[in-house]
Amino acid sequence: MDELLGRARFESLADRALDASRADQTEVVVIGVDSALTRFANSGIHQNVAERNVQVRVRAIVGRRAGVATTNDLSDAALARVVERAVEAAKRQPEDPGLPDLPGPLPAEPVPSFSQATADCTPEQRARMVRPICALAVEHGLKASGACSTETTEIGIANSRGVRRHELRSASSLLTVILDDEGSGYAERTARDIDSIDAEALGREAVDKAVRSRGAERFEPGEYPVVLEAYAVGEMLMYLAYMGFGALALQEGTSFLRGRLGQRIVDPRISVSDDGRNPLGLPASFDYEGVPKQRVALIEDGVAAGVVYDTKSAAREGRPSTGHGLPAPSTFGPFPSHLSMAAGDTPPAELAKGIERGLWVTRFNYVNVVKSDRAVLTGLTKDGTFLIERGEVTRPVKNLRFTQGVLEAWSGLRALGAERRLIEGWGGAVLAPAMRLDAFRFTGVSDV
């Protein structure tokens, strides 16, 4: 990969922008992206794209007024203009007495965030990863679809209070949906280093699911014990983050954690944290304000333990940011994008044990929030829903719709998987185990 910008050019760009600013405080955020994605369907590559972009975001604070301007034109003239636009934007606003200062410099240890193999991955390599998946599908009379993607992100942050950060981050992903008219299967791998992804193993997992899900029968909606694979648990975690693991949602009263910090909210075997430094995830050492990422316990032994903060939400409580700021101006507030749930001790083969009659769910589809302050979600099962009878997976069933409070469901935890999967998430990735639950509420069936 050709260098997007590089530390030296970032430093020079930041110096010029900070020098040019007439604001009381100025922040320069440079986000460079070099990404590629090979997409396949009907067992062939049908879309294949690449993108390079470097965006400069300038936040100017004049008095207690903030303005943000962006550009991806890196010429000297455009750089001077974007600074001026940010200053003008700030000046055009009324004073906001609650606006905090930009964060100051804090020590941040580097993390292993970059993979040269991912950065160097070529379209031919991605095609070679896709090919065995398609071949396996065709061999079984199925069709393969999916995507293989690589991304290198260069993030540089500098502000007039002395913050200077620069980091290269890598992410790669391979996912597939294998299907025919009778059934479908899914598999996904997300990793920093694309060379660690075994495409054939992924293809076998999805083909196996697709073959086993053929001939699914309608199953009456109702409340059943379930095994949720890591894909499904990971998605629930992401939606919990969206609904209430950020301080702003808690402060405004929409979080399901309102009034419940320190209380038991789920089974005591469940612990959830956000840790940008976790090498098992997609590490990042600082947020979009340049604040070092802290590990934050969100649920500890089933007890609501905390939320994540950016500078603004932290200032409201007179505490430091935890390093979870999004690019300014973030009206959403802070967000945890490196979630993980602690693993349990149940091996995959024993997850269904003890269920007399229940359902095995591979993943969810089209999940959405029904009520965020109660953490209620709806969505459908997809790509491998099976009946469990007397502790064994017996036959496929048609996809079902669920409407379920996450905390209520997780209070009925009966087993937690010993293995975890890294799943592509919003702005990062989620590390999740599978779980067995006492009850899960299915409210409809998909006529598929």
Q: Between residue 160 and residue 189, which ones bind another protein under the rule CB under 8 A?
A: 175-177, 179
Is residue 6 classed as helix, strand or coil in its secondary structure?
coil
**Residue from 382, 420, 421, 436 that binds another protein (CB under 8 A)?**
382
Q: Does 217 bind another protein (CB under 8 A)?
A: no
Considering only residues 137 through 156, tell me which ones interact with another protein, judged by CB under 8 A. Answer: 143, 145-147, 149
* CB nearer to another protein: pick between 36 and 191: 36
* CB nearer to another protein: pick between 342 and 445: 445
How far apart, in Å, do the first and last CA atoms of the chain sit? 44
- Residue 53 CB, shortest distance to another protein, in Å, is 4
- DSSP for residue 174: E
**Taking contact as CB under 8 A, which single stretch among the options 15-23, 41-49, 152-160, 278-286 is the one that binds another protein?**
41-49
Considering only residues 268 through 327, tell me which ones interact with another protein, judged by CB under 8 A. Answer: none
Q: Does 399 bind another protein (CB under 8 A)?
A: yes
CA 413 to CA 73: how far, in whole Å? 52
**Taking contact as CB under 8 A, which single stretch among the options 212-220, 277-285, 344-352, 361-369 is the one that binds another protein?**
361-369
- Residue 347 CB, shortest distance to another protein, in Å, is 29
- Residue 202 CB, shortest distance to another protein, in Å, is 13
**Residue from 193, 260, 401, 412 that binds another protein (CB under 8 A)?**
401
CA 339 to CA 432: how far, in whole Å? 8
The answer to whether 39 and 150 have CB atoms below 8 angstroms apart is no
CA 283 to CA 157: how far, in whole Å? 17
CA 225 to centroid of chain Cα atoms: 27
Q: Does 85 bind another protein (CB under 8 A)?
A: yes
Q: Please list the residues that pair with 28 across neighbouring strands.
A: 58, 158
**Taking contact as CB under 8 A, which single stretch among the options 249-257, 261-269, 279-287, 317-325 is the one that binds another protein?**
249-257
- Residue 134 CB, shortest distance to another protein, in Å, is 6
Q: Does 253 bind another protein (CB under 8 A)?
A: yes
- Residue 128 CB, shortest distance to another protein, in Å, is 8
Note the helical H segments in 185-263: 199-212, 230-244, 247-252
Q: Does 9 bind another protein (CB under 8 A)?
A: no
- Residue 443 CB, shortest distance to another protein, in Å, is 5
Q: Does 338 bind another protein (CB under 8 A)?
A: no
CA 427 to CA 33: how far, in whole Å? 13
DSSP 131-157: HHHHHHHHHTT-EEEEEEEEEEEEEEE
Q: Which residues of 318-327 are buried (b: 16+ CB within 10 A; e: fewer)?
A: eeebbbbbbb
* CB nearer to another protein: pick between 350 and 408: 408
Considering only residues 90 through 129, tell me which ones interact with another protein, judged by CB under 8 A. Answer: 90, 92-94, 96-98, 122-124, 126-128
CA-angle at 16, arms to 11 and 21, nearest 5°: 125
- DSSP for residue 356: S
**199-212 and 123-139 helices cross at what angle (nearest 10)?**
30
Q: Please list the residues that pair with 360 across neighbouring strands.
A: 227, 386
Considering only residues 255 through 274, tell me which ones interact with another protein, judged by CB under 8 A. Answer: 258
- Residue 168 CB, shortest distance to another protein, in Å, is 18
* CB nearer to another protein: pick between 15 and 51: 51
Considering only residues 61 through 80, tell me which ones interact with another protein, judged by CB under 8 A. Answer: 65-74
- Residue 138 CB, shortest distance to another protein, in Å, is 10
* CB nearer to another protein: pick between 234 and 417: 234
Who's near 369: CB < 8 A, 6+ residues apart?
Answer: 239, 242, 243, 376, 377
Q: Burial, 217: exposed, middle or buried (Cβ in 10 Å; 0-12, 13-18, 19+)?
A: exposed
* CB nearer to another protein: pick between 117 and 127: 127
**Residue from 6, 16, 48, 212 that binds another protein (CB under 8 A)?**
48
Sign of CA dihedral 79, 80, 85, 86: positive
Q: Does 380 bind another protein (CB under 8 A)?
A: yes
